[in-house]
Amino acid sequence: MRLLTPSRVTGLDIRGGRMKWTLIASSAPTLGDAVYNTLRLVHKAHERGHELRLFFINDAVDAAREGFEPEEIRELLNECITKGVPVKICTRVELPDPFGTRTTKIPF
């Protein structure tokens, strides 16, 4: 299995043999097109028979929230899920106490 992040998938030839990919989306979906392009890549690679898994972490989690705008990203994400691409979304954030004495868990 290859581990790829959106910044490392540029230039890959996905027309060849079958591959297993885990893509990690971590950037804010509103600050650029990395999440959108990652979802497009997942969609096309899945159509060509590649085995994919998608993981959302950090700011990319916002793309999975109800009512997220732009709607195109949520539509692509829902399409990937509907077609059977396993999608995992980080649902818990741990914030350190400013004094370093404890960790606060904040559920989403």
- What digits encode the pLDDT tens for the residues 4-60? 444 444 445 545 567 888 988 888 888 888 889 999 999 889 988 889 899 988 888
pLDDT for 12 equals 52
Beta-ladder partners of 82: none
Higher per-residue confidence, 10 vs 83: 83
Query: From the CA atom positions of the chain, what is the Rg in Å?
Result: 15
pLDDT value at 63 more than 80? yes
Q: Environment class of residue 28 by beta-carbon count within 10 Å: exposed (0-12), middle (13-18) or buried (19+)?
A: middle
For residues 29 and 36, the answer to whether their CB atoms sit within 8 Å is: yes
Residue 86 is predicted with a pLDDT of 92
CATH of segment(s) 2-7+20-107: 3.40.1260.10
Does the pTM surpass 0.75? The reply is no
